[in-house]
Amino acid sequence: MENLLAIIIGAIFVNNFILTRFLGLCPFFGVSRKTSSALGMGFAVVFVMTLASMSTWLIYNLVLIPLKVEYLQIVTFILVIATLVQLVELFLKKTNEALYKALGIYLPLITTNCAVLGVAFLNVQENYGFIASTVFGASAGIGFTLALFLMSGIRERLDLAKVPKAFQGVPIAFIIASLMSLAFLAFSGMIR
Amino acid sequence: MSLKQLVKGLWKENPVFCLVLGLCPTLAVSNALENGLAMGVAATFVLICSSIIISLIAKKIPNEIRIPAYIVVIATFVTIASLFMAALLPELNKALGIYVPLIVVNCIILGRAEAFASRNNIKDSALDALGMGLGFTIALIIISSIREILGTGKIILFGLQTIRLPIEPAMMFILPSGALLVMGLLLSLFSALKQNKKPLKANCCIEEDK
């Protein structure tokens, strides 16, 4: 139980996916202009990351290891995730119209999101069990959403600020992210 | 003509500084010059090989499944690169960690496959890939040398200490926040140098929803 708690705190705060691991930077800079779209993207990522952790764990441990073809993990994982995103999209379209409308446009963007693939590789590298992998996937997604949400709040304010010409657009977003990352550094003492 | 394909990746369409692509590995592994260099070489290898293969097979792939097909080609070369690295340079492989397999989702590679290699002949595609790969490597070298020298006060390359600064190192620069700061400053420098009329926009695989 303590172990799971450590995984949750670690994935959300200490090793935040965006601010310390740099996974998923593209949506972080691309979809962080409005709070509403940041939240939509965040929920879609939590959803897909949890499912991706579960399915890649199952495939790695029940198929790749018994067949002794662990070296195929890169090809397998990316195909599994791409298929998974497609399936989720189809499933939502058929069953839950409201949720599909809310998350639909973000789902295709997630296929090439390195955060989702990163979660699968980290589960293998850290040797997590099934439960731990699922929890890690979900909390990594929550950490991603947290950083994206904070960033979008700041950027909405930034529209009103006077930014020097050379810094307009992406450069100032990097400086903000750097300061946010510095703030998140304070969490690093929470886990041994 | 062909020289133009090579050179444009270095400056005019530099994947990192001008197109703002491939950010995750650029920031994550640039804490030391050695790591940055290794990532640059590995990504260039994958970029060149997959561009050549994709330009060869692009016409035979049905349009609907071209992206999955490209991804499989890229993933194959990433597997080769990561196995090579694990066998020959185990220390470096450990330092780069999951960022070696993550080359597969590096937007530069899929972006060049889709935008260039699938529409041009082998020679141009290979030169374009080489130029883009070199541009990426140079960007990594710039960022990682700035971070290493400011963060540790010295640069260590292949086990040899090459430069030493007589200043107190600021640890912040080898931490994640230093990566974002250096990148932000470099991007603003590029934007000022090129005197862009319009401000820089991240165009990494995705566009802001309307």
H-helix or E-strand spanning residue B160: strand B160-164
Give just the sign of the alpha carbon dihedral B17, B18, B23, B29: negative
pLDDT at B195: 64
User: How confident is the model over A60-87, as pLDDT tens digits?
Assistant: 999 988 888 888 888 898 888 888 888 8
CB B176 within 8 A of CB A20: yes
Ranges of chain A with pLDDT below 70: 1-2, 104-105, 109, 111-112, 192
CB contact B191 to A (< 8 Å) = yes
Q: Which of B24, B179, B199 sits opposite A169 (nearest CB)?
A: B199
Closest CA to A132 of A52, A188, A54: A54
B residues 91-150 closer than 8 Å to A (CB): 97-98, 101-102, 104-107, 110
- Supply the ipTM of this predicted assembly: 0.84
More confident of the two residues B19 and B115: B115
Query: Which of B27, B177, B181 should one mutate to test binding to chain A, selecting the residue with the greatest count of A CBs within 10 A?
Result: B177
- Residues from chain A that touch B184, judged by Cβ atoms under 8 A, are 167, 171-175, 177-178
Q: Which of B187, B201, B205 sits opposite A112 (nearest CB)?
A: B205
Give the Cβ contact number of residue A90 at 10 Å.
Answer: 11
CA distance B154 to chain A (A): 23
CA distance A39 to chain B (A): 13
pLDDT at A1: 58
Q: At what angle do helices A35-59 and A73-95 cross, to 10 degrees?
A: 120
- Has residue B196 got a pLDDT over 80? no
- Residues from chain A that touch B102, judged by Cβ atoms under 8 A, are 23, 114, 117-118, 121
Q: What is the mean pLDDT of residues B7-16?
A: 74
Q: Chain A: residue nearest B178 by CA?
A: A178
